[in-house]
Amino acid sequence: MTTSESLVRPHGPAYRIQGAGRRFGDASSPTSFEALRDAAFDIPSGSLTTIAGPSGSGKSTLLSLLGLIDRPTSGEIVVDGVPTATASDKFRTQLRATKMSFVFQSFHLMSSRSVLENVMLGGLYSGLSRAARMERAADRLARVGLESKARKTVATLSGGEKQRAAIARALVADPQILLCDEPTGNLDSKNSGAIVELLVELQSGGLTLVMVTHDPSIARVGSVQLRVKDGEVRRDA
Partner 1 sequence: MRERAKGISIDKLGLVDEAVASLAAKRLRSVLTAAGTVLGVGVLITVVGLTSTARAQIDQRFNALSATEVTVSQVADPVTVRSLAFPPAFEQRVQQIDGVEQAGLVWQLPQETSAVSPTQVLGVSGQRDSGVGVMAVSAGALNVARARVREGKLFDPIVDRAEARVALIGSLVADRYGIHHLESSPAITVNGTSFTVIGVMDSVERHSELLNNVLVPAFTARRLWGDPRGSTSPQGWVSVERGAGQVVADQLAHAIDPAAPQRFDVTPPPDPRVLGNAVNADITRLFMLLAAVCLVVGMVGIANTTLVTVLERTGEIGLRRALGARPAHIAFQVLTEATITGLVGGAIGSLLGISVILAASLSADWTAVVPPEAILGGPVLGACAAVLAGVYPSIRAARVQPLEALRVGT
Per rule CB under 6 A, is residue 61 in the interface with ligand ATP? yes
Per rule CB under 6 A, is residue 50 in the interface with ligand ATP? no
How far, CA to CA in Å, does 90 sit from each of 7, 62, 132?
Answer: 19, 21, 24
Partner whose footprint covers residue 33, from partner 1, Mg ion, ligand ATP, none (CB < 5 to 8 Å by kind): ligand ATP
Per rule CB under 8 A, is residue 87 in the interface with partner 1? yes
Cβ count near 210 (within 10 Å): 27
Per rule CB under 6 A, is residue 58 in the interface with ligand ATP? yes
Tell me whether residue 52 or residue 198 sits nearer to Mg ion (CB atom): 52
Residues paired with residue 11 on neighbouring β-strands, in sequence order = none
Tell me whether residue 35 or residue 166 sits nearer to ligand ATP (CB atom): 35
Per rule CB under 5 A, is residue 213 in the interface with Mg ion? no
Stretch of residues binding ligand ATP (CB under 6 A), selected from 40-48, 55-63, 80-88, 144-152:
55-63
Tell me whether residue 104 or residue 115 sits nearer to Mg ion (CB atom): 104
Using CB atoms within 10 A of its CB, is residue 3 exposed (0-12), middle (13-18) or buried (19+)?
exposed
Per rule CB under 6 A, is residue 33 in the interface with ligand ATP? yes
Q: Which of 90, 190, 205, 206 binds partner 1 (CB under 8 A)?
A: 90
> Terminus-to-terminus CA distance in the chain, angstroms?
28
Using CB atoms within 10 A of its CB, is residue 162 exposed (0-12), middle (13-18) or buried (19+)?
buried
Per rule CB under 8 A, is residue 104 in the interface with partner 1? yes
Per rule CB under 6 A, is residue 37 in the interface with ligand ATP? no
- The contact mask relative to partner 1 for 123-152 (x = CB under 8 A, - = no) is -xxxxxxx--x-------------------
In contact, 118 and 154? CB cutoff 8 Å: yes
Q: Which of 50, 60, 73, 192 binds ligand ATP (CB under 6 A)?
A: 60
How far, CA to CA in Å, does 201 sit from each of 48, 106, 143?
Answer: 11, 22, 10
Q: Which of 60, 101, 126, 203 binds Mg ion (CB under 5 A)?
A: 60
Residues near ligand ATP (CB under 6 A):
24, 33, 35, 53, 55-61, 214
